[in-house]
Amino acid sequence: MSTNDKPIVLIVGAGLGGLFLGALLEKAKIPYTIFESAAVVKPLGSAMTVGPALLPIFQQLGIYDDLVAIGKYMTHVEAFKESLQPYRPVDWRPFEEFAGYGQYIVTRPKLHELFLKQISPHKIHFGKRVRSISENSDKVTIHTTDNNTYEGDILVGADGAYSAVRQSMYEQLKAKAVLPESDQEDLPFSCTCLVGQTKVLDPEVYPIIKKPVGQFFTLLGEEGPYTWAVFTTAQSTLSYMVYHHLPRQTSKAVEEERAKSDDNAEWDATPTQTMCNETRDFRIPIDIDGRKMTMGDLYDLTPKELISKVGLEEKVFETWHHGRTVLLGDACHKLHPNGGQGAVTAIHDGIALANLLYAMPSMSSLDITNTFEEYRNERYPAAKEAFENSQLMSKITDRSLMGAVIFYLYTNMPMWLWRMMLVKLVRFRPQAGFLEALEVKGNVVPVPSPSEKKARAIFEKQQLGAVFA
């Protein structure tokens, strides 16, 4: 495909995955526009760790130093019983030996802000909720609730677990009786989560904030079905997550139906405050005024509108594309956050899709379908593996016998075995094939993805042609 014959890409959803895809398309000189249903971006969410799986692509995009500036370098995860009796810390330092990159604690709002800065303001529209989608052999069109229409060659649904793009695409496939039964089922979850971040804290009052290395604490409830985690951040705040492990698997639709028939149902307008009240007394290993802090202390230090409660859905959909529409991130695979793979997997989706769009021979329906199929073939096994790993990690905190065994192995694993596991984790650290390749860091050589190799071959051919032109 020539430089002047790139597809016009419509991206629905300005979450981490959608924004990162936009940043990649910007570098690939592929025209795009992002549509976000929210009128403004609220700084909701807790924190996550960012390491070798993402830092190479950040370096390629020129945002590595920005990431380090907003992140807090970390080396260990410290786990405790509810009584604050510690387990053996988990050591993540071998990452630097294997991949040449460390681990950083980054708040989701700051990471989102960093990605948003990579998007030209005129290429993103807020307050644009998709009402319907139409398509013909040449174009795809989205119709928004403010009575506007936008036309492109390709539509990317990056609009989350309850994706409007996916629902529209699935309705078409269902009408043709070709949508798999599993894709018609509700998104299940067996855990809800309270997330938030305190206001900026005085380091003289909260000395833990001054520690140069980020602190990451995980606590396992013994008296109730809860686990909770607390992170220190580079912004002198404390981020946190509190998991409530439900006695049975449920879904958003089931809970909403239950709420209609039960005035005392939890799924109402105040579930966040209810969960805050239930978990206020949970202690954390941070000292203040001669006592251990509690989750209630953190809630009181957080603006109420910045504490939220969400259901943690878990599912990998089978159908990722149809016609000129393709899905990305939570829209096609929703992972439990305990594995720390949700954002990583969405960003890796974006890298693969950007590489393949760059390498796409033409904008014909056949080439688009083949490109989407290559994308799904590459990313589905990785998403499935991440899903299974996330489910395994979630077992650690669900207080089952299997969870106890997994947690014991996790905190007592011999270092030689732990290092083997970390080597496996760092073997896949993809790059954009349409940008200058980075020099390999660390002593574990990364495995290039098929999409990266395909884009790299075209990029190098164009570079060679430019030299002899």
pLDDT tens digit sequence for 414-439: 899 989 989 988 999 999 999 999 99
3-state helix, strand and coil shares in percent for the chain, rounded to the nearest 5: 40, 25, 35
Our CA angle for 254, 162, 322, nearest 5°, is: 125
- Bigger pLDDT: 226 or 469? 226
Tell me the mean pLDDT in the region 331-356.
89
CA atoms of 279 and 286, how far apart (whole Å): 16
Whether 447 has a pLDDT exceeding 70, the answer reads: yes
Domain 9-44+110-184+314-468 has CATH 3.50.50.60: yes
pLDDT at 464: 82
Tell me the mean pLDDT in the region 244-265.
66
Whether 3 has a pLDDT exceeding 70, the answer reads: no
Beta-strand pair 76-81/72-74 = unpaired
pLDDT at 13: 97
Amino acid in the structure at residue 16: L
Q: Tens digits of per-residue pLDDT, 174-205?
A: 999 999 999 999 998 888 999 999 999 999 99
pLDDT at 274: 92
Beta-strand pair 325-327/321-322 = antiparallel
pLDDT at 267: 37
CA-to-CA separations, 14 to 82, 236, 352, 452, in angstroms, rounded: 37, 26, 18, 24
CA atoms of 267 and 242, how far apart (whole Å): 17
pLDDT at 116: 97
Q: Which residues contact 97 (CB under 8 A, 6 or more apart)?
A: 442, 443
pTM of the model: 0.93
Q: Tens digits of per-residue pLDDT, 67-96?
A: 999 999 999 999 999 999 999 899 999 999
Domain coordinates in residue numbering, the chain: 9-44+110-184+314-468, 188-313
Whether 48 has a pLDDT exceeding 80, the answer reads: yes
pLDDT band at 268 (very low <50, low <70, confident <90, very high): very low
pLDDT at 263: 45
pLDDT at 41: 81
pLDDT at 266: 40
Q: List, in sequence order, the alpha helices (H) in 71-132.
A: 94-99, 108-116
